[in-house]
């Protein structure tokens, strides 16, 4: 699916989703991290890796797009309320294609509770669970 920006308020350089598809109950998404991404210059210059918090952000962005494709529209802008059980298993490096599989645990116009697994190739690099709530700020 193209036109990700019609489903998210995020814009470059803070947009971390390239493609989203719905397969049954699963949200599948990808993002290719470029060596030119702004954060690699300082995280870490001699061994650049994607900050773990941006991996969770990527999954949450993809989950937000997927929820909308499944018919869940927030009353206002969804924002993180809780991140739990985030486990980082391997680093993600410049040039890696990050694939995500997200599932909805609870999805309404007020609360979006999701779980995701992120991979590079066949290797699981992150697992996380998060909750977002409608903020009252218009999207």
CB atoms within 10 A of CB 47: 8
Alpha carbon separation from 128 to 75, 81, 87, 89 (Å, rounded)? 25, 14, 6, 11
Q: Mark whether 43 is an active-site residue.
A: yes
Q: How large a percentage of the chain has pLDDT more than 70?
A: 99
pLDDT at 76: 87
What is the tens place of the pLDDT at every residue in 85-109?
Answer: 999 999 999 999 999 999 999 999 9
Which listed residue (10, 31, 43, 113) is catalytic? 43
pTM score: 0.96
**d(C-alpha 16, C-alpha 5), whole Å:** 11
74 — pLDDT class (breaks 50, 70, 90): confident
Give mean pLDDT, residues 58-75: 94
Q: Which domains does the chain have, with CATH numbers?
A: 4-134 (3.10.129.10)
């Amino acid at each position: 699916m193209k036109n990700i920006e019609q489903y998210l308020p995020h814009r470059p350089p803070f947009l971390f989703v390239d493609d989203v598809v719905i397969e049954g109950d699963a949200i599948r998404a990808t993002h290719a991290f470029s060596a030119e991404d702004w954060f690699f210059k300082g995280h870490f210059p001699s061994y650049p890796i994607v900050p773990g918090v941006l991996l969770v952000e990527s999954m949450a962005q993809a989950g937000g797009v997927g929820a909308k494709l499944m018919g869940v529209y927030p009353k206002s802008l969804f924002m993180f309320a809780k991140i739990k059980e985030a486990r980082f298993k391997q680093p993600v490096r410049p040039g890696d294609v990050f694939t995500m599989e997200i599932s909805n645990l609870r999805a309404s116009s007020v609360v979006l509770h999701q779980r995701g697994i992120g991979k590079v190739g066949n290797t699981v690099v992150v697992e996380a669970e998060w909750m977002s709530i409608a903020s009252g700020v218009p999207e």
